[in-house]
Chains A and B, each alone.
Chain A
Amino acid sequence: MCVATSGEVLKVENGIAEVDFQGNIVRAAAGLTEVSPGDYVLVHAGVIIQKVTKQDNDIMTQLLAEMEDAARG
């Protein structure tokens, strides 16, 4: 469950972050994570629930390949 989208932190002040979602600025509480301007974060119901770690584009392929390797043993 849970609609959550990721946006960019513009600034953080007193535990409230201004997060930009493609031009929509939402004030989200930053009480559950350590964030700084420039971070990409996942926001759910007005609260930042996690920082988004940039992954390489082929992370999915990599993980699946690892799984196949493990399966082949």
Chain B
Amino acid sequence: MKITMAHGSGGRATGELIASTFAKYFNNPILNKMEDSAVVEGSGRLAMTTDSFVVTPLIYPGGDIGRLAICGTVNDLLMSGAVPKYITCGYILEDGADVDLLTQIVKSMAETAAEAGVTIVAGDTKVIEGNGGIYINTAGVGFLPDGINISAANCADGDAIIVSGNLGDHHAAILSTRMEIENEIQSDNAPLVEIVRALKEAKVELHAMRDVTRGGLATVLHEFAVSSGSCMELWEEKLPVHPAVQGFCNLLGLDPLYMGNEGKMLTVVPKHDAETALQAIRGSKYGEHAAIIGEVTHTENGNVLVHTKVGGVRTVSELIGEGLPRIC
């Protein structure tokens, strides 16, 4: 069955669609009330975020737009040190969208929300003219325990820079599908809940955290360098990259430093906490390939430097343009 404009009218068709997809799979006491707004419990400092998801293809190796929507939102909240609790989602459906496909996405979103320990408390559906596309907007709310102050500005001289795993998987998976290059690369889309919990329980001094998304590691570290007025110095041989992703990058003239992830994060801690933090991440789901990749210095403030395998030094900027594959 396909989505039509009738599904967006607010009448019976809309009601039936919601009942058979969103309400069925997101099923929870707050949402089930189907009020105009969700009333939830909470106190203290709130962390809030919003995000929109427009990825194509809608289903890709290792995930789909529904899973991605939860991971992206939850991870944003986690990075400030908050515990994610509530998610809202608005779906914009183009007429012609396949209802079975929509159901698969909604189911995946529900499963990922359960994995991440968050509740989808409110939603909205709109239908517009188009070609079967599906887009999702989310908002997320989390609660920030007292005493937590995590910020890129905290990066201090001598701090260790840790990445939670292999670079570039998500971007490589999407590009592989679009360019029809056959490989086993899967998106790494995942909620970082366990990793962040393990870091907090390890009682390390968390200076900064940020998830590595669009623009890749280079872009995020560049933000860190600028915010903290320091230098992020990395060692190329320590950067964890799956061989298939490296091979993919070589093929297309791409650099893993600029390839986006959707389930990896950077953690900056004082040197004396580095090993503890590393073990905490490695012992958590999705953190198996974590590595200490560099340190914060003042060699060239505001910049990211990479000590290359051959012995050179390279200054790495943030991503320029779109990271298009090169032939030349």
Contact = CB atoms under 8 A, between A and B. Distances in A.
Interface of A: 1-3, 5, 7, 21-26, 43-45
5 contacts: A3-B251, A24-B181, A25-B181, A25-B183, A43-B251
B327 A22 contact: no
Nearest to A25: B182
Q: Which 9 A/B pairs are nearest by Cβ-Cβ distance?
A: A22-B247, A23-B244, A3-B253, A21-B247, A25-B182, A24-B183, A5-B250, A1-B328, A22-B243
Interface string B239-257: 0000110111011110000
B316 to A, nearest CB: 19
Contacts of B181: 24-26
A12 to B, nearest CB: 17
A72 to B, nearest CB: 28
Given A23-B184, A24-B176, 7 more contacts: A3-B328, A5-B247, A22-B250, A23-B243, A24-B183, A24-B247, A26-B251
B167 to A, nearest CB: 15
Interface of B: 176, 181-185, 243-244, 246-248, 250-253, 326-328
Contacts of A21: 247-248, 250-251
Nearest to A21: B247
Contacts of B252: 3
Nearest to A18: B182
B320 to A, nearest CB: 18
A3 B244 contact: no
Nearest to A45: B327
Contacts of B253: 3
A1 B328 CA distance: 5
Nearest to B243: A22
B104 to A, nearest CB: 27
A15 B169 CA distance: 32
B326 A3 contact: yes
A58 to B, nearest CB: 17
Contacts of A45: 327
B248 A3 contact: no
A40 to B, nearest CB: 13
B186 to A, nearest CB: 12
A5 to B, nearest CB: 4
Contacts of B326: 3
A7 B247 CA distance: 9
Contacts of A1: 328
Nearest to B247: A22
A23 B248 CA distance: 8
A3 B254 CA distance: 10
Contacts of A26: 181-182, 251
A25 B251 CA distance: 10
Contacts of A25: 181-183
Nearest to B248: A24
Contacts of B246: 22
A2 B248 contact: no
A3 to B, nearest CB: 4
Nearest to A27: B182
A22 B185 CA distance: 11
Contacts of B185: 23-24
Contacts of A24: 176, 181-183, 185, 244, 247-248, 251
A48 B207 CA distance: 49
Contacts of A5: 247, 250-251
